[in-house]
Amino acid sequence: MPAKVRAYSFVDRAPIAAADEPVSLDDLSAFRILVIDHIPEMRATLSMTLNQFGAQALEYASRSGEALGMLRRTPYDIILCAYDLGTGFDGLYLFEEARRHGLLKASCVFVMLTGERQSSKVIGAAELAPDAIVLKPFTGDTLFARVQRALRKKQRFKPIDAAIIAHDFLRAISLCEREISEGGDDTLDFVRMKVHLLLRIADWHATRDLCRSLLARSDLAWAKMALGKALFQLREYDEAQQIFRQVMTEHELVLEAYDWLARVQQAQHQVAAAKLTLSQAVHKSPYVVNRMRELGEVALAAGDVALAEQSLTETVRLARFSFWPQVSDYSQLAELQIARGDVGAARKTAATIKRDFRQGPEAVLAEVLEADVLLKLGDRSKAAVQLDQALHTASLLIEPPSAAVALGLAKSCLAQNRHEQARQLTLSVLKNRHDDPQLAAKVTRMYQQQGREEEALQMIEETAANIVEINNEAVLLAKQGNLQAAAERFLAAVKDMPANLQVLLNTINALLAYVNQHGWHDSYMQRAKELLTRVSTLDPANGKGLQMAEIFRKTQRRFGIKG
């Protein structure tokens, strides 16, 4: 296995500013509140209850999808969420999704409202879940007391909020460390926030070491989950698998543990085991898009075509009403439909791509699928013309095609014996995601279907080795103090790998390091800005990308340049 791509950083932690004045907790007038419940009468009752305690900025949602949309737009201070949200997602799923996508402030109070019959389910996951659980029926005084207690605890997180909003994650970690050093009843909460932030900036070694230290003293499910994630990223798969199994045994409803165990199993090529793990999770909670998608892909890899089609059909249905649809779900479903000869269903799926992605870059896949349908029908000449049209459309895209589009084109090229075109398209994907084991497995499977598995394995190995060598050469130049040479080497690498996140981030880092050590450089700052925009497009929630954006703004301010 080739060495991993090295990352480096030149940034020191910023000094810690004084905390803001605490807000009065005697009433709720200063807080933005979101109430989530599918029963109108319950929303009305909660509104009247909260009004009695001064609440003024109140908003309401009846479904989890609606609530997630509101959370994307507004940083709420208090969220009151029913566990039972009717059909579909429950309140714990909503909490998990909001936290996973960074939609909750550090100081946000999330209160779960649940009936006695459901309380065991919620409390069973309490190690990883809300700030408070209030059992129905409850009085207004009981609810206010629980909210007030949680608010008092969370007020100390406000300075961390400010740092995170500014994408200054290193400062946020420093703030956590200061609170931890002062001790008190909330110390463990600040430790937990520090762990969350270390995961956010992908500091896997620090996360691993801190969580091991914590678990040596106390059995904490959230620390086990964080440790398992860090071990996965560090490719310490055996220990990661053991950790996730422990969480599953001790906390049956922490379904995130199933998801991560399945990832570990896939990384270890235990496809049948991963399929079983995800099937168990989907049985417990069948409405999570990412989980259903993973099950479809794993079932496909395991050769379970029926389960793959069933899961991908459900994924497409769920994703159409979520914020995270992926065109690869549609294309994989259509490929399965074509494989079993249902060209009518495949054409309907292609039409759905055109409708749901509104002629964006992903719509190229609809043209690719039509070429595959024509080939299935035996009309090779029309299939060739259609594939030419799809390749031409892709060549007109402003940005290089996404992995889903490029691999769809490559697969169609392979089927029509256009091996060199398939090779170039596949290489373009591998260069930008050289360290993605799931993508490597997908490429291998694609070539295996055409009897060319060895070609795929050779491309994967050579591409990864070349990228690591190029990237690490530039990192070494930076460490030796030759920042301009490092920056130029990275810029050359970016031309060949325009969507490789690690290379993009290292390039931005090198450019900013040069400017901060040698003075303002218009060209380098402009390139850094362009690359930051690209990172944001590829992965909006990437912690290192957000951190680099803040460093960019600080560099501008240092030289008196307005953003």
Assign a CATH topology to domain 466-558: 1.25.40
Question: In this predicted structure, which of 93-107, 302-316, 501-515 has the lowest mean pLDDT?
Answer: 93-107
Residue 398 has pLDDT above 60, yes or no: yes
Beta-carbon contacts of 128 under 8 Å, excluding residues fewer than 6 positions away, are: 221, 222, 225, 251, 254, 256
Q: Are the C-beta atoms of 33 and 51 separated by less than 8 Å? A: no
**Residue 524 contacts residue 504 (beta carbons within 8 Å):** no
User: Which phi and psi (to 5°) does residue 100 adopt?
Assistant: -60, -35
Compute the average pLDDT of residues 170-186: 90
pLDDT tens figures, 512-556 = 999 999 999 999 999 999 999 999 888 877 888 888 988 999 999
pLDDT of 127 above 70: no
The residue type at 157: F
Give the burial class of 54: count Cβ atoms within 10 A of its Cβ; 0-12 exposed, 13-18 middle, 19 or more buried.
middle
| Distances from the Cα of 269 to the Cα of 256, 264, 438, angstroms | 20, 9, 10
Q: Which CATH superfamily is domain 32-163 in?
A: Response regulator (3.40.50.2300)
What's the average model confidence in pLDDT over 16-32?
Answer: 68
Q: Copy the structure tokens of residue 421.
A: 């075109």
In this prediction, residues 38-57 reach a mean pLDDT of 92
**Confidence band, pLDDT 50/70/90 cuts, at residue 400:** confident
Average pLDDT rounded to a whole number, residues 153-171: 85
Architecture of domain 250-465: Alpha Horseshoe (1.25)
* Whole-number pLDDT of residue 24: 67
> How much is the pLDDT for 10?
43
Instruction: State yes or no: pLDDT of 71 exceeds 50.
Output: yes
Q: Phi first, then psi: give them for residue 14, nearest 5 degrees.
A: -80, 155
**pLDDT tens digits, one per residue of 245-281:** 999 998 877 888 999 999 999 989 899 999 999 999 9
Residue with tokens 């800005």: 529
- What is the residue-averaged pLDDT of the chain? 87
Q: Is 400 helix (H, G, I), strand (E, B) or coil?
A: coil
Q: Lowest-pLDDT range, 72-76, 84-88, 214-218?
A: 84-88
482, pLDDT greater than 80: yes
pTM: 0.78
Helix (H) or strand (E) holding 157: none
Is residue 289 over pLDDT 50?
yes
**Rg, the chain, Cα only:** 25
Q: Does residue 220 have a pLDDT over 50? A: yes
At residue 542, what are phi and psi to the nearest 5 degrees? -65, 120
Share of the chain above pLDDT 70, in %: 92
pLDDT at residue 18 in the model: 41
Question: What is the average per-residue pLDDT within 421-443?
Answer: 90
Chain centroid offset of residue 442 CA: 19
In the structure, what pLDDT confidence band is assigned to residue 322 with cuts at 50, 70 and 90?
A: low
Q: Is the separation of the CB atoms in 510 and 490 below 8 Å?
A: yes
| DSSP per-residue letters across 430-495 | HHHSTT-HHHHHHHHHHHHTTT-HHHHHHHHHHHHHHHHHHHHHHHHHHHTT-HHHHHHHHHHHHH
The reported pLDDT for the residue numbered 442 is 87
Residues 199, 229: contact at Cβ < 8 Å?
yes
Buried-exposed string 119-158: b where 16+ CB fall within 10 A, e elsewhere: beebeebbbbbbbbbbeeeeeeeebbebbbebbebbbbbb
Residues 100-115 have pLDDT tens digits of 777 888 889 999 898 7
Task: Estimate to the nearest angstrom the gap between the alpha carbon of 137 and the chain centroid.
Answer: 36
Q: CA-to-CA distance for 138 and 115, rounded, in angstroms?
A: 10
Q: Is the pLDDT of residue 35 over 70?
A: yes
User: Which pLDDT band, with edges at 50, 70 and 90, does 87 fall under?
Assistant: low
